[in-house]
Amino acid sequence: MATAPTPPVTLVIFGASGDLTRRLLVPAIINLTRSGLVGDDLHILGVGIEPGDDASLVTRLDSFLAGLEEPVLPEKDDAWRRLRERVSYIAGDFTKDEIFLSIKKRLESAHCSNAAFYLAVPPQFFGPIVEKLAEHGLTREVDGCFRRIAIEKPFGTDLASARALNACILGKVAESQVYRLDHFLGKETVQNILTARFANMMIEALWNNNYIDHVQITAAETVDVGTRGKFYDATGALRDMVPNHLFQLLAMIAMEAPNGFGAEAIRTEKSKVLSALRIYTPEEATEHAVRGTYTAGTLNGSNITAFRETKDVSPDSKTETFVATKLYVDTWRWAGVPFYLRTGKAMTARDTEIVVTFRQVPFAQFRETDVKRNLPPNKLVIQVQPDEGLSIEISIKAPGLSVDTVPVSLDFRYADKFDIGKMTGYESLLYDLFIGDQTLFQRADGIEAGWAAVQPFLDIWAKSAERPDPYAPGSMGPASAEDLIRKDGREWHELGVMLHNQTHNKT
Ligand code: BG6
């Protein structure tokens, strides 16, 4: 548990007038300030293309925070009142030198020279900003001060571009200065995967292909593409979610025990797993992945516009809004265990979960009875969101004279046990950026290994004239996704089966 306050630092946010800054970064810093982990020696220097000055950025933040469901008002909230005194802004074009000269001047006049540069900008600016920072000496760490760079996703759009971006950045700064974000790693339940695995003998002892039949990793969303048509049509579900968010979950599920809990030991094990993902031939890639696009329909009482009719999406678009794939981690521990991944927009429920399905018992005790027909395999369900928690599905004997087995679920919900409060998920990421802990950030080799594993899918789809399969909003995705797993004699875990409901339902 992190308790030490962060050192003095200036957080320089490129893209300060954007959504991420007001929705996630600033609220997270307010939360850190409230908990005493960030003190009055943190300064925010916003940099953005929109004209304005220090006061106009503060006013913009004020009005956003005042409009939150639980409004944050400077007259009532001590943390925000104190923090807003330390917010400043430089307007300008961050492809030009002037802005970097101004940043330099501000940092020189600051009472400390520690700086974290946060790139909350469109990805085409990542490389050029790092180059300019380096050119102006802003990335040089002198007199014990630190200079760090935090980079949002998407980190590249394929293997070649991710490699090129890494080469560009690492040509200017050391890996130890680079903090590549994947906001899934800021989620409490994701961080808990390592504890669940490595602090519990009964889990880790069964964690291999002798006992595990298969793993499912799902990130289903009910939201549609909405106003993000331009970005999404160029990106698609695979690039948006798989090599980053879903692979981070996969890496934490499949990694070996690290030699220690330091950043390098953990990142090394995660990279080893990602580089063990089987690289498919074009034929295998075709066989092991399906993609879909949602049609028009209704979802939770709202009308959904078909993806291809969404603003800024080409009517001929071949971009997928759903993807499902079967992957293998070619290691001793996981040989032969399929990892089924799926993610999509406008689906039946918001549900990010990992389901580990164990093998069937050998039936010895029940061989000659009817019981064997009613003996579902054990499952460990890690509910990432919403309703964060963990459940274990086991079979028990129903009370009575005959031997009837029924599946029951042993559930743990974070909200039942802890006051988890309203966090943005960026608190631990920013805290770690300030204290210099890279555990929750992606290393260059891990990013490239992830892209290498999805590149065969990108290649076959780029060449294919076929459109993704249609699916109705509010469904579990296209029928082909069911076929992908059914042909192996397995079923997808039902979406939206909340731990909460299970707890209170009689079996
Ligand atoms: C983002 C994707 O990285 O993650 C979005 O670009 C997606 O398309 C989002 O909706 C999902 O994150 P979360 O935390 O809401 O599950």
Q: What angle do CA 36, 41, 43 make, to 5 degrees?
A: 110
SS3 358: strand
Tell which residue, 451, 372, 380, 384, has the closest CA to residue 413: 384
Residues carrying an active site annotation: 245
d(CA 248, CA 194): 12
Atom of ligand 1 at shortest range from CA of 184: 14
- The residue contributing the CA closest to ligand 1 atom 6 is 240
Which domains does the chain show, CATH number per domain? 9-152 (3.40.50.720), 185-370+443-506 (3.30.360.10)
Q: Is 243 exposed, middle or buried (0-12, 13-18, 19+ CB in 10 A)?
A: buried
pLDDT tens string, the chain, 507 residues long: the values are 447 899 999 999 999 988 999 999 999 999 999 999 999 999 999 999 999 999 999 999 999 999 998 899 999 999 999 999 999 999 999 889 999 999 999 998 876 789 999 999 999 999 999 999 999 999 999 888 999 999 999 999 999 999 999 999 999 999 999 999 999 999 989 999 999 999 999 998 999 999 999 999 999 999 999 999 999 999 999 999 999 999 999 999 999 999 988 999 999 999 999 999 999 999 999 999 999 999 999 999 999 999 999 999 999 999 999 999 999 999 999 999 999 999 999 999 999 999 999 998 876 566 556 555 567 899 999 999 898 999 999 988 888 887 778 889 999 999 899 887 778 899 999 999 999 999 999 999 999 999 999 999 999 999 999 999 999 999 999 999 999 999 999 999 999 886 545 444 443
Atom of ligand 1 at shortest range from CA of 232: 8
Tell whether ligand 1 has an atom less than 6 A from the beta carbon of residue 221: yes
Alpha helices in 216-351 (DSSP H): 229-241, 247-254, 263-275, 282-287
User: How far apart, in Å, are the Cα atoms of 339 and each of 277, 284, 449?
Assistant: 10, 15, 16
Tell whether ligand 1 has an atom less than 6 A from the beta carbon of residue 240: yes
Atom of ligand 1 at shortest range from CA of 228: 8
d(CA 481, CA 290): 6
Tokens standing for residue 118? 């946060």
Residue from 157, 221, 227, 353 to probe ligand 1 pocket by mutation (most atoms less than 8 Å from CB): 221
Helix (H) or strand (E) holding 19: helix 19-20
- Residue 499's pLDDT is 52
CB neighbourhood size of 159 (10 A): 20
CA dihedral sign, ordered 408, 414, 419, 422: negative
- Residue 429's pLDDT is 97
Ligand 1 geometric centre to CA of 101 (Å): 35
For the whole model, what pTM was predicted?
0.94
